[in-house]
Copies of this chain bind each other. A is one copy, B any other.
Amino acid sequence: MITVELLEKYGVIKKSFDKNDIIFEEGNLPSNYYQIISGEIKMSNYNDDGREFIQGIFYNGQSFGEPPLFLNQKYPANAIAVENTELFILPKENFMKLLEENPKVSIQIIENLAQRLYYKSVMAAEISTHEPEHRVLKLIDHGIAYFNFQKDKNGYLINFTRQQIGDLTGLRVETVIRTIKALEKKGELKIINRKVYR
């Protein structure tokens, strides 16, 4: 996350997006740095028969879509507003200038990319070698640590739909529903009127 002052110094603009608006699409060449002011963005892929895989979900203060920007490569996924969202948008040239002139920001970017790489490493191993219960729990526990889920008397409220959990773990909704029930039976989760707590 880059401070507002610094972004403004380099000519950032603000832009609003409605729910379901597309920020950029898979295959496009990147030309901006994006940072969320408010709202929620998901990055995801669709395969040939329309099945979605969610690469990540991003909230206030987080940036997204930088890797292709640094590599001059096409976006490997789409970015879509999950709800009404306001973004800071900084053109690539200005962003690169900001980086050059502010070495400390590079360190922040590095830490941010490192964090995301870490998540992807963990989930990649989960998805390819573990059973549904393990995958779902790992995702939930990651979510508690990194997507500020709220804690109340029942525990942490897992603020994802079953479909989202499926799209993040590579499972189908029905499988997620059954898996969550099985995890509840084992005492790993609580389900209180359809909401999941951990």
Residues of A within 8 A of B (CB): 45, 47, 51-53, 55, 66-71, 73, 76-77, 99-100, 103, 106-107, 109-111, 113-118, 120-125, 127-130, 169-170
Contacts and interface: CB of A to CB of B under 8 A. Distances in A.
Contacts of A71: 111, 114-115, 118
Q: Is the interface of A mostly helix, strand, loop or mixed?
A: helix
A45 B117 contact: no
Nearest to A99: B107
Given A51-B129, A128-B127, A170-B127, A120 B121 contact: yes
Contact of A103 (B70, B106, B113): B106
A120 B169 CA distance: 14
A180 to B, nearest CB: 18
A130 B48 CA distance: 9
A114 B113 contact: yes
A113 B124 contact: no
Nearest to A44: B125
B127 A127 contact: yes
Contact of A129 (B53, B100, B109, B117): B53
Contacts of A107: 99, 106
